[in-house]
């Protein structure tokens, strides 16, 4: 009997806070692995592009065929989540300053949109379709300035979009992996089969020993 490979989400581990995303997934019973080469995401059940620094992330994207791999992945319909810098690189347009992006999410996004006074803060965002307010950590966060017709706004802060979805692509301008609230990860990966968290951590331990 051929044993089916268990579903596992690829967390891009080029730069940024990928470990916190892996812990968030593990708490939900979703296995993950760290992807450092584009081909590694081909078989993944989902992809996370974590926060960090979008310019640095983009430099890594230019060293290997990441653009192609991520576009292929998005087109396959499997779930993708980008947070903060990850949301920036998914966008159609980036401003302040302008830089290249993947164009997989029809939004215009402004880097470091909260300026100097409040460049990092913890707050709550309004997410009525997800059951109410979600605690949110903003770290030199971008601001979504325009959304296309196929983009659903799922959470707002002072009326502005901070969590959006376009089909299988979800993006947050904040860091849902830094709070125990799992709703954003659940929303993005609702179709990825969960196992018991104990089974997921047993398998990650095994993978570490290899």
List 38, 51, 161, 176, residue binding ligand GLN (CB under 6 A): 51
Going along the chain, which residue ranges are E strands?
Answer: 8-12, 31-35, 46-49, 80-83, 91-95, 105-110, 120-127, 132-139, 143-147, 152-157, 160-166, 169-172
State which residue, 7 or 48, has the beta carbon closest to ligand GLN: 48
List 27, 29, 34, 53, residue binding ligand GLN (CB under 6 A): 53
Q: Whole-number minimum distance, CB 44 to ligand GLN, in Å? A: 21
Query: Considering the rule CB under 6 A, would residue 165 count as an interface residue with ligand GLN?
Result: no
| Cα–Cα distance, 22 to 172 (Å, whole number) | 17
List 22, 78, 92, 111, residue binding ligand GLN (CB under 6 A): 111
Task: Say how many residues touch ligand GLN, by CB under 6 A.
Answer: 12
Catalytic residue, candidates 21, 84, 110, 185: 84
Torsion of CA 43, 44, 48, 53, to 10 degrees: -30
Catalytic residue, candidates 21, 67, 110, 175: 175
Element of type H or E holding 25 = helix 18-27
Q: What is the 3-state secondary structure (H, E, C) of 106-158?
A: EEEEECCCCCCCCCEEEEEEEEHHHCEEEEEEEECCCEEEEECCCCEEEEEEC
Segment near ligand GLN (CB under 6 A); pick from 45-53, 59-67, 143-151, 184-192:
45-53
What number of other Cβ atoms are within 10 A of residue 34's Cβ?
A: 15
The yes-or-no answer on residue 93 being catalytic is no
- 169-208 positions binding ligand GLN, by CB under 6 A: none
State which residue, 58 or 73, has the beta carbon closest to ligand GLN: 58
Query: Considering the rule CB under 6 A, would residue 84 count as an interface residue with ligand GLN?
Result: yes
Catalytic residue, candidates 67, 110, 177, 185: 177
Element of type H or E holding 53 = none
The yes-or-no answer on residue 199 being catalytic is no
Residues annotated as part of the active site = 84, 175, 177
Interface contacts to ligand GLN, rule CB under 6 A:
51-54, 84-85, 88, 111-112, 139-140, 142
């Amino acid at each position: 009997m051929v044993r089916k490979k268990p579903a596992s989400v690829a967390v891009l581990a080029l730069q940024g806070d990928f470990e916190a995303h892996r812990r968030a997934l593990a708490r939900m019973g979703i296995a993950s692995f760290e992807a450092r080469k584009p081909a590694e995401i081909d078989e993944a059940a989902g992809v996370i592009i974590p926060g960090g620094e979008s310019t640095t992330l983009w430099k890594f994207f230019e060293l290997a065929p990441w653009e192609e791999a991520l576009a292929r992945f998005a087109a396959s319909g499997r779930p993708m989540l980008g947070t903060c810098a990850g949301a920036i690189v998914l966008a159609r347009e980036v401003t302040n300053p302008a830089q290249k992006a993947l164009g997989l999410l029809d939004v215009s996004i402004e880097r470091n949109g909260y300026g100097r006074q409040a460049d990092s803060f913890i707050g709550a965002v309004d997410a009525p379709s997800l059951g109410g307010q979600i605690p949110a950590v903003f770290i030199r966060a971008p601001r979504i300035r325009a959304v296309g017709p196929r983009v659903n706004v799922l959470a707002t802060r002072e009326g502005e979009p901070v969590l959006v979805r376009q089909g299988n692509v979800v993006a947050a301008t904040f860091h849902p992996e830094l709070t125990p609230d799992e709703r954003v990860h659940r929303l993005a990966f609702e179709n990825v089969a969960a196992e018991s968290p104990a089974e997921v951590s047993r398998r990650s331990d095994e993978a570490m020993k290899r």
